[in-house]
Amino acid sequence: MKNWILCLVSCVLAGCGGGGVPEPTVEEHVYAHVVGLGDASGSEKMFQSAFVTGAVPQNRKDYGKYVYVIDGTAEIDGDEATVPVKIIAGMVVSPKGAQGKTAEQTETKMTWKLKREGEEWKIKEAPLPG
């Protein structure tokens, strides 16, 4: 999942020009883990691998009810990152992605924390609304 997102980000950044594909930035790695969490919640294994050891929430299916959007700039300090996240409920989600609004759409701004374990960024804290 995360490799797919990183590949997509790299392809978009590369454009149609010649030359090689640039390496994703630290921020892009961090952002990919945040926006991909809704998809990762569909698989126990993927969901667990998205979090640092000992921080996996027990309410995995609740994370699939939302769409996650980066809502500002991440603050990255060494191996830790703080990311402003807009959590959107009420989006119609299909295999093609988030589409349209429903009558009960809500947006909540939260702050999530990530930590690098080895070479990989993982979520340390991802509070949900309510």
Give the architecture (CATH level 2) of 26-93+103-125.
Roll (3.10)
Other beta carbons within 10 angstroms of residue 128's beta carbon come to: 14
Token representation of residue 102: 């429903």
Report domain extents, the chain: 26-93+103-125
Prediction pTM value:
0.74
Amino acid letter, 34: V
The tens place of each residue's pLDDT in the chain, 130 residues long, gives 455 555 545 555 555 555 678 888 999 989 998 999 999 999 999 999 999 999 999 999 999 999 999 999 999 999 999 999 999 997 655 555 555 555 578 999 999 999 999 989 999 999 999 8
Q: What are phi and psi of 9, to 5 degrees?
A: -60, -45
